[in-house]
Structure formats: C-alpha cells, structure tokens
Homo-oligomer: A and B are copies of this chain.
Amino acid sequence: MLQPRRNRQTRHETMRSASAVKSTKIVKPAKPTVNVKTSKDVKFSSLSLIDPFAKKHSRSQLQQIRIIEAAIESFANRGIEATTYARLARDCNISRPLIHHYFPTLASLFLMAAKHIRRSHLEAAMFNVKKAGPEAWDQLKAFVEGSFDWIEQHPNYAKFWLLYYYQCGLGGAIASEHTALVKAGEESLQSILSGFNLRKSDDPYVLTKSIQMTAIGGTLSALTESRHLPGKKAREITLSAIASILRGHRLL
C-alpha cells in the first residue's frame, strides 16, 4: 500500500496534492535561475501556452489541447490525487508516454490547465468587450458579464478554479504562477478603466483592484451559493456593486 502512494506523490512533484501527507517534503517554488537544464520547474515555465483560439493548430498542438481539456475535467471532478497519467491517457486516447513528453510532471499539467483556463476566461471576457461599443461603462459591464457567462458555459473550468485557489493558498509554485495570471486580469481591466475620466485623486491601481475583487467575490458567490443566490441575481448584484464603486469615485 505504501509503495504506490509514494510513487503517486513523486509524480505530482512540486504540486502539493490535496491530500499531501504531513511527512511529504515540501518543495519550495523554483526561483528563476540560469540553470535551466536541471530544474523541471523552470523547464516548465518556458513552455508556451497554445492559443486555443488560433485559426489553425498543428497536430501536436491539437493533442496538447486535448490533454489539457481532459486534465481540467479530471482535476475538477476527481481531484488531484486521483488524476494520473494512466487515466488521462484513457480519457483522451493519447498514449501515456506522449502525454509525459508534452507535460513532464502533473504539476506542470495542472499549471498549464490553469493558464489555459485563465486565457479562455480572459478571451471570452475581452470578446464580449469588443462587441460592447466605445462607452467605458458598457465595456466594463461586458467584461464582468463575460465572466459570468463563462462560468455558466464551463462548469468544469469553474470547479477547477476553486481547486486552484486552494492550491494557491498552500503556497508553492502555483502561488508564484498565480501572480502572472492575476496581473493579466488587472491589465485587461485597467485598459477598460482608462476609458473613464479618472481624477488625480483616483489611484488607478486601487480602482482596478477594487473592481477585480468585487468581480472575484461575485463570481465566487455565484459558484458556491447557487442554492441560496441564483446565478442571475449574483450577476446583477455584482454589476450593481461595481456601478456603486464607480459612482463612489464620481466616474458614473
């Protein structure tokens, strides 16, 4: 019984699994280093994300997207411990060694899944923004509505996202990577907010984060309080709260 468990821990590597045993050595997040060849983490960081919305994908890219999608579904519903290369191979009908070739550790696959999801989320929100016309408030509404549409359309992505938050709370490589993901969201939001006539007294960063926090809290409520707060109501209240923030800054 002990042997396979240890093996599993090894496969997960830097990702602290949801059921990491107390005695498991906690791997510190890899710092950026020149010594690329010796660190799997750094090797992973250099992996570039495939644009899921590209017009054309190579065979290899299509396979990687299929693996990532299968991984998201598995992490979201089975959790971390029960997601294995063997199962993913069955799920997406791609050989285990090939999955291993693309994603040398399950931790790297978890992180690529997170990047894929964040990208899909941002693209969906920004796609909505582009349709919204030139008014800054319409764009901001479209951005937030895009997030709510997205969690409705991709329940597995949303479940994965909650597991991802738990992993971030544990620290480690995932918490480090999270910075990049959060910053991407801040940038999109900041570019929309630049359409408002901010005063000198308005700190654009504080305003951006205020709105981001409210949107995060609102989508989290939609995800976790669905028995109490219908998704439509959560969306309405989130938009109302953001409108109040802007009115509080006399921007609306």
Q: What is the interface of chain A, defined by CB distance below 8 A to chain B?
A: 1, 4, 17-22, 77-83, 158-159, 162-163, 165-166, 168-170, 175-176, 178-179, 182-183, 206, 209-218, 220-221, 223-229, 234, 236-238, 240-241, 243-249
Q: Which residues of B contact A209 (CB under 8 A)?
A: 221, 229, 237, 241
Q: Which residues of B contact A249 (CB under 8 A)?
A: 244, 247
Closest to A81 in B: B19
Closest to A223 in B: B169
- Assess whether B21 is in contact with A82, with CB atoms less than 8 Å apart: yes
Given A179-B227, A182-B225, A245-B241, check contact A162 B165 (CB 8 Å).
yes
Name the distance in Å between A40's Cβ and chain B's nearest Cβ: 20
Given A214-B241, A218-B217, A228-B183, check contact A77 B20 (CB 8 Å).
yes
Q: Which residues of B contact A165 (CB under 8 A)?
A: 162, 165-166, 220, 223-224
Given A20-B79, A214-B214, check contact A206 B240 (CB 8 Å).
yes
Give the distance in Å from the alpha carbon of A170 to the alpha carbon of B159 in the complex.
Answer: 7
Name the distance in Å between A214's Cβ and chain B's nearest Cβ: 5
Name the distance in Å between A173's Cβ and chain B's nearest Cβ: 11
Q: Which residues of B contact A234 (CB under 8 A)?
A: 213
Given A18-B163, A163-B166, A220-B217, check contact A210 B237 (CB 8 Å).
yes
Q: Which residues of B contact A82 (CB under 8 A)?
A: 19-21
